[in-house]
A and B are shown apart, each in its own frame.
Chain A
């Protein structure tokens, strides 16, 4: 049976307990660094920590999610590394990292993935508004307040002030299944205990060396995960139906994207938008002045910048099969275009078309990287 340990939470609360746990991880002879979100100058950002003293600023449960760290983890693992790094990540960060590994942009060697049971996070704008409004609260206090409120599911109600981000409200993967070790919060009374659950031999090896007490039953957690997944799937279905209606014709799709200013923030924020250089910033799209005049004459009026629809459809073609639904595209949009909604809908369909699910299994090849000799007969009218 896989190792399941108990992380005891004492008087000083769950954040102190998790820092203590990570200090033990960092002290392990095979671990050279811990990567986790820290409070850096008031902002919650991923940090690579080597000095145990600096773990006091670490807060993996903060309800802030300014970037999907999968891209950073990929960069940190590609090539030679000094020792192992233990990375504390959200489930969607692990799933995005899995996709990057498939693209050879990151490596699963020399890294121990510690996944947190994820209640979600606020959209960055909501988080900043909240910190401004409650300036007197410390970041730790804000995290603890969030941990108190989140388990009931109340923050998933769009009427909450504020609710967690839309992407989190429809996230059917709150449990970090691809992790080596799960930091279990679901179903636990976080004022008393949390769990560390080993899911792989790597995780088990590390966890056994930490010498933590065994946990009793995880039944409460299993039940909580099941309930959350069911609730989120129901919400996802409703959202998908609404989005399908909103983009059901090219005209409606154009309305949907009308506020897009081609800033390409969504692609920068996307952890799985994999090209090293995006074609949309190359000379291919440096049109000549006379071309604009020609297009304008054809229609009577030309919206500039051009290629907005082209950009979004191309990104759907490139990245929707690898979309893990982290919602950073919507988080990064300066004009509140529901990019995530579009990707969840289309990604759901394109992934289903190939029987694929992004982030599910590191051994499952990306659908556009392989083919079978006999398949998809419907594409060629029954001829294969």
Chain B
């Protein structure tokens, strides 16, 4: 049987994690190809709807990643993202989604290594976890 290849949607901020992802790419670090990057100006503008829509549309996990606390280009967007992720996590686990399917990390612009590692680790975790519980819901 073919190995399960999870689909992971990653919302990354322009100033830190996107740059880190770019660095990981140009430095030719080995990364799992399961991640679809969406570049946002800030994690603070990741609307909970984006996360919900991704999970209902077949994503097996959502990664949100931005600047380290104190480093946000817009001063405090990442702190707001953290509260939203907490909120979403409470809601999504109540309806039976595994909490590991929504991940928030801080990855600075120079941390290409960290980005590649985070992606590889997440893909490994989600492969072990299997397809999303919400995958069959489609457009319900």
Contacts and interface: CB of A to CB of B under 8 A. Distances in A.
A317 B87 contact: yes
A303 interface: yes
A376 B86 contact: yes
Interface stretch (B15-23, B24-32, B90-98): B90-98
A298 B87 contact: no
A317 B133 contact: no
A346 B90 contact: yes
A380 B106 contact: yes
Interface residues of B, dominant DSSP: helix
A318 B82 CA distance: 15
A98 B49 CA distance: 26
A368 B79 CA distance: 10
Interface string A294-325: 01001100110011111001101110110000
Interface size class of B (residues with CB under 8 A): 35 or more
A279 interface: yes
B139 A306 contact: yes
A248 B96 contact: yes
B33 interface: no
B48 A317 contact: yes
Contacts of A253: 95-96
B94 A244 contact: yes
Contacts of A353: 86-87, 90
Interface in B88-140: 88-92, 94-97, 104-106, 133-134, 136-140
A290 interface: no
Contact of A314 (B48, B89, B138, B140): B48
A336 B65 CA distance: 40
Given A251-B136, A254-B137, A350-B91, A384 B86 contact: no
Interface of A: 244, 247-254, 257, 279, 295, 298-299, 302-303, 306-310, 313-314, 316-318, 320-321, 345-346, 349-350, 353-354, 367-368, 371-376, 379-381, 383-384
